[in-house]
Amino acid sequence: MKFQSKRELVERIEREHAAFVELLATIPVRQRRVAGVWGDGWTVADLLAHLAEWHRMLLRWVEDGRAGRTPDLPAPGFTWRETPALNREIQRRFARRSAARLEAEFEETHAQALELVQGLSEKELLAPGHFAWTRKLPLVSFIAPNTCSHYSVARKFLTRWLRATATAPKTRASVKSKPGRDARG
């Protein structure tokens, strides 16, 4: 995704975040640990952990780059080709955290990422190779996939999951029978 200005990037991040959070608010807390949202049995809570951790990685990349260090991309011990394994590791690492805590961490790291973007100049965001660690790419090529694009994809996963769970056929065990009638109705 190409951005022409810092303002355009900030507006897109804010718009996609708001749309994701609005959809998230429709999901009752008790459903946030139900598997099937995405991947290998992911839950809404897993998705929140994933988004928050990718925010943290983005923040570390920029911090390392500003300090003159070359960031471990995408994370220490992982290459870009190993992103699926990294995502499974993130899911495993945060599996015991409550959905409420993961949502708070998502919001906190989103605010930090947005603050980072707002504190950078348009040149720092959009100029290819402005930071040595980004090589020939503009910094926005690392920011957008970990903010607005990520929120958009996450929203699509949630929407698909919500549709599937709303229209899923009831099993006999899930249908409550009325007095004097069997489960078939």
Q: Which domains does the chain have, with CATH numbers?
A: 6-162 (1.20.120.450)
Can you give the pLDDT at residue 38?
Answer: 92
Output the tens digit of pLDDT for each of the chain's 185 residues. 689 999 999 999 999 999 999 999 999 999 999 999 998 899 999 999 999 999 999 999 999 999 999 999 999 999 999 999 999 999 999 999 999 999 999 999 999 999 999 999 999 999 999 999 999 999 999 999 999 999 999 999 999 999 998 865 554 444 443 334 333 33
112 φ, ψ to 5°?
Answer: -65, -40
What number of residues does the chain have? Answer: 185
Give this prediction's pTM: 0.88
Can you give the pLDDT at residue 16?
Answer: 98
Rounded Cα gap, residues 181 and 185, in angstroms: 6
Give 57's contacts (C-beta < 8 A, 6+ positions apart): 74, 75, 146
Can you give the pLDDT at residue 40?
Answer: 80
**Any idea what DSSP says for residue 78?**
B
